[in-house]
């Protein structure tokens, strides 16, 4: 039996540096964040290892003329051995070792990869460092690609480190002080150590997070929260804020804010800044917010969240799920508090986000109880509270399933009853939930059950049924005798919504608009639909004109002016449905028939009185 040959794995250092340096991060500007983070951890290290007092700070200086960016700290510095073992060795960061020794939650770094990002934006990287362990020795590390480097003595400097990047031409934006200040404010907003830009005397992160300010007066606390939200919010003016505090299983703290800008139900403007140990890790962690909260942004911090290797995303672990649950609870509780304590802000929330809140109320029973009597629903007469819709419908809630005005528009306008537009976001499910919880009946117009409630069937002898059908219907229409209000309305044409769907799905145009897989599934469903009837024509037996028509049926034919007027009326009351579009080739034909019938009536001599 032969002994297997054991070989060492080879590493293409150039290829590895390219992959890690150029593809590990989504944006090269993350290099700035990584260098500030390293500077922070160096200061924490010095505090943990060096008993001598020192003033920790980080200063970022740029030189537009030279195209350089320098990050300096008053931290622990590096010895020659540490430069070789940690700075110049991929994945061997000293921070991991330090965390294992001291168990400090103040340290940010994890993987020992952040320094690589410097080579993405720089043609040359220089590190000048003096270790607290040998304060009389200053060293200079230099490298152009990270593959090879040099170390040599340098002019004396205080304990600490300065990393100088000679920027590539396409990253010279980082040598602009105002742009630099804006980015650092974004990255370092919660960092506990002061971060200065250029010769500034005030740190970019001098304003503390509002949840770190103890016992502020309520008015001042509100101002601090709104100011903080404005510093981080890029798109919307904050309307009001909600605190996020630790809950069982989490250490999360932070602030949420509701946008002072109108949203639609499907709008998703969620945004969440996530800080881990004070440094921005993800500025679009929207998935931590509930899906229904499309009108909410925020910023949170947690030491329990675990970053990925690029430190631009979070691992979806139990800690992540616990934080998401805590945020959802804080948001629900916070909205209840706003409703109770800030009535003016609450009115604006309802005004700005009514449609989105319809969906939110369906996702959480507590929100439904909070919002059920506050929100409006879209109706044929504009947005109205459900209580008004229900009162005017005499205890019933009528809902249309048509995206266009159909028979519902004609019938219920005559009845002066608003109809809920069931095709709008969240409207129909919200109405159903409201009726289920608060009482009431939902009548869905256009369905078989709904039509029976609106047009109660009436018995009619077969010969009279046949007569009315011959006089009033057209091909594809089915006549149904009924009794309904208002009695002044003689008939209503109700399209078959399923038949309309079948025709649309099976049309040639559908193949060009719908993906073949989805279209195949839809056609499997519509194949079972009987589309032989386009629409039902409900004839009102309580209407005087219909009563008179039946009484005189022996002497009336399809050419009678009264019959022509009724036939024309079918198109008028059909509304904007597909059936209406097909009715007598459209409204023009109906209008022409109506005009001719009127002329005949005018030409008929009236008997002398």
Neighbours of 193 (CB within 10 A): 21
- Which residues are CB-neighbours of 228 under 8 A, at least 6 positions away? 207, 209, 210, 255, 299
> Quick one: 33 and 170 in the same domain?
yes
**The predicted structure's pLDDT at residue 228:** 93
In a domain, 127, yes or no: yes
For residues 15-29, one letter each, b for 16 or more C-beta atoms within 10 angstroms of the residue's C-beta and e for the rest, the string is eebbebbeebbeebb
Q: Would you say residue 517 has pLDDT above 80?
A: no
The answer to whether 38 is annotated as binding is: yes
User: Are residue 313 and residue 435 in the same domain, yes or no?
Assistant: no
Say if residue 591 is in the same domain as residue 489.
Answer: yes
Range list of β-strands (E), 154-205: 160-167, 195-197
In a domain, 518, yes or no: no
Q: Domain containing 476 — which CATH number?
A: 1.20.120
Tell me the pLDDT tens digit for each residue of 129-176.
999 999 999 999 999 877 788 999 999 999 999 999 999 988 888 888
Do 182 and 163 lie in one domain? The reply is yes
Q: What is the pLDDT of residues 359-418, one digit of tens each?
A: 999 999 999 999 999 999 999 999 999 999 999 999 999 998 876 666 677 788 888 999
Tell me: is residue 73 an annotated ligand-binding position: yes
Assign residue 141 the CATH number of its domain.
3.30.565.10
- Residues 440 and 558 reside in one and the same domain: no
Per-residue model confidence as pLDDT tens digits over 467-500? 999 999 988 899 999 999 899 989 988 877 666 6
pLDDT at 581: 47
- Point out the domain boundary residue: 452, 485, 515: 452
Does residue 442 form part of some domain? yes
Q: How do residues 87-116 score in pLDDT, each as one tens digit?
A: 777 666 666 666 667 666 677 765 556 677
pLDDT averaged over every residue in the chain: 85
* Shared domain check, 445 and 459: no
pTM (global) more than 0.75: yes
Residue 361, pLDDT score: 95
In a domain? residue 526: no
63-81, pLDDT tens digit by residue?
A: 999 999 999 999 999 999 9
Per the annotation, does 161 bind a ligand?
yes
Same domain assignment for residues 483 and 391: no
Question: Where does the pLDDT of residue 252 fall: very low under 50, low under 70, confident under 90, or very high at 90 and above?
Answer: very high
197, 229, 250 — which closes off a domain? Answer: 197
Domain contains 345? yes
Can you give the pLDDT at residue 474? 87
Domain co-membership, 191 together with 214: no
pLDDT number for residue 66:
92
From CA 43, how far away is CA 107, in angstroms rounded? Answer: 10
Q: Which domain holds residue 558?
A: 455-496+533-603
Same domain for 282 and 339? yes
Q: Stretch 312-329: mean pLDDT, rounded?
A: 87
179 vs 172: CA distance, rounded Å: 10
Measured CA to CA, the distance from residue 296 to residue 258 in angstroms comes to: 5
Residue 465 lies in a domain: yes
Asked if residue 405 is part of any domain, the answer here is: yes
According to DSSP, the residues that pair with 441 across neighbouring strands are 396
Compute the distance between CA of residue 173 and CA of residue 64 in angstroms, rounded to an integer: 9
Cα(449)–Cα(394) distance, integer angstroms: 19
Q: Does residue 332 share a domain with residue 300?
A: yes
With respect to residue 204, please indicate whether it lies within any of the assigned structural domains.
Answer: no
The pLDDT of residue 430 = 95
Contact 118, 90 (CB under 8 A): no
Q: Is 311 annotated in some ligand binding site?
A: yes
- Taking the C-alpha atoms of residue 51 and residue 129, their distance in angstroms, rounded to an integer, is 19
CA distance 454 to 406: 14
Q: Do residue 336 and residue 401 come from a single domain? A: no
CATH assignment at residue 338: 3.30.230.80
Shortest CA distance to 532 belongs to which of 574, 571, 499? Answer: 499
d(CA 464, CA 131) in angstroms, rounded, equals 106
Q: Are residues 332 and 247 in the same domain?
A: yes
Q: Give yes or no for residue 250 having a pLDDT over 50.
A: yes
* Last residue in a domain, options 417, 433, 452: 452
Helix axis angle for 462-472 and 544-551, nearest 10°, is 110
191-200, 299-308, 523-532: which has the minimum mean pLDDT? 523-532
Number of domains, the chain: 4
């Amino acid at each position: 039996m032969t002994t297997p040959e054991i070989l060492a794995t080879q590493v293409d250092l150039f290829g590895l540096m390219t992959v890690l340096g150029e593809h590990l991060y989504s944006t090269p500007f993350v290099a700035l964040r990584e260098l500030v983070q390293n500077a922070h951890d160096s200061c924490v290290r010095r505090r943990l290892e060096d008993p001598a007092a020192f003033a920790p700070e980080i200063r970022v200086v740029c030189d537009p003329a030279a195209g350089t960016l320098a990050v300096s700290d008053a931290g622990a510095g590096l010895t020659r051995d540490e430069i070789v073992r940690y700075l110049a060795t991929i994945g061997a960061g000293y921070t991991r070792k330090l965390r294992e020794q001291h168990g400090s939650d103040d340290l940010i770094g994890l993987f020992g990869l952040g320094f690589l990002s410097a080579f993405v934006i720089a043609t040359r990287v220089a590190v000048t460092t003096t270790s607290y362990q040998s304060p009389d020795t200053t060293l200079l590390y230099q490298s152009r690609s990270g593959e090879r480097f040099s170390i040599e003595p340098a002019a004396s400097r205080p304990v600490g480190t300065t990393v100088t990047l000679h920027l590539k031409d396409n990253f010279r934006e980082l040598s602009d002080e105002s742009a630099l200040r804006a980015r650092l404010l974004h990255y370092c907003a919660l960092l506990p150590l002061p971060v200065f830009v250029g010769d500034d005397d005030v740190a970019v992160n001098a304003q503390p997070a509002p949840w770190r300010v103890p016992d502020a007066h309520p008015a001042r606390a509100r101002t601090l929260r709104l100011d903080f939200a404005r510093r981080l919010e890029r798109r919307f003016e904050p309307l009001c804020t909600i605190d996020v505090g630790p809950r069982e299983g989490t250490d999360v703290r932070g602030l949420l804010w509701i946008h002072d800008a109108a949203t639609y139900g499907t709008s998703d403007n969620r945004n969440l800044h996530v800080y881990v140990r004070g440094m921005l890790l993800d500025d679009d962690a929207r998935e931590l917010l509930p899906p229904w909260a499309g009108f909410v942004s925020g910023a949170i911090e947690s030491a329990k969240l675990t970053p990925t290797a690029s430190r631009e995303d979070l691992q979806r672990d139990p800690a992540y799920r616990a934080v998401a649950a805590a945020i959802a609870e804080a948001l629900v509780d916070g909205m209840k508090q706003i409703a109770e304590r800030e009535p003016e802000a609450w009115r604006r929330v309802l005004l700005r986000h009514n449609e989105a809140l319809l969906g939110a109320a369906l996702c959480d029973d507590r929100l439904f109880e909070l919002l059920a009597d506050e929100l409006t629903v879209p109706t044929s007469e504009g947005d109205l509270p459900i209580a008004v819709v229900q009162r005017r419908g005499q205890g019933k809630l009528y809902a249309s399933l048509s995206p266009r005005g159909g028979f519902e528009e004609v019938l219920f306008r005559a009845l002066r009853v608003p109809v809920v537009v069931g095709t709008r976001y969240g409207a129909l499910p919200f109405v159903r939930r409201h009726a289920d919880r608060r009482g009431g009946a939902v009548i869905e117009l256009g369905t078989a059950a709904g039509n029976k409630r609106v047009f109660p069937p009436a018995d009619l002898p077969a010969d009279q049924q046949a007569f009315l059908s011959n006089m009033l219907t057209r091909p594809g229409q089915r006549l149904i005798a009924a009794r309904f209000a208002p009695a002044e309305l003689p008939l209503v044409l109700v399209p078959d919504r399923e038949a309309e769907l079948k025709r649309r799905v099976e049309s040639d145009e559908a193949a060009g608009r719908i993906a073949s897989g989805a279209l195949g599934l839809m056609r499997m469903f519509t194949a079972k639909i009987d589309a032989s009837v386009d629409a039902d024509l409900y004839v009102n037996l309580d209407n005087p004109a219909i009563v008179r028509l039946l009484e005189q049926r022996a002497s009336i034919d399809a050419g009678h002016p009264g019959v022509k007027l009724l036939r024309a009326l079918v198109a008028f009351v059909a509304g904007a449905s597909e059936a209406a579009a097909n009715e007598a080739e459209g409204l023009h034909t109906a209008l022409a028939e109506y005009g001719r019938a009127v002329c005949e009536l005018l030409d008929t001599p009236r008997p002398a009185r």
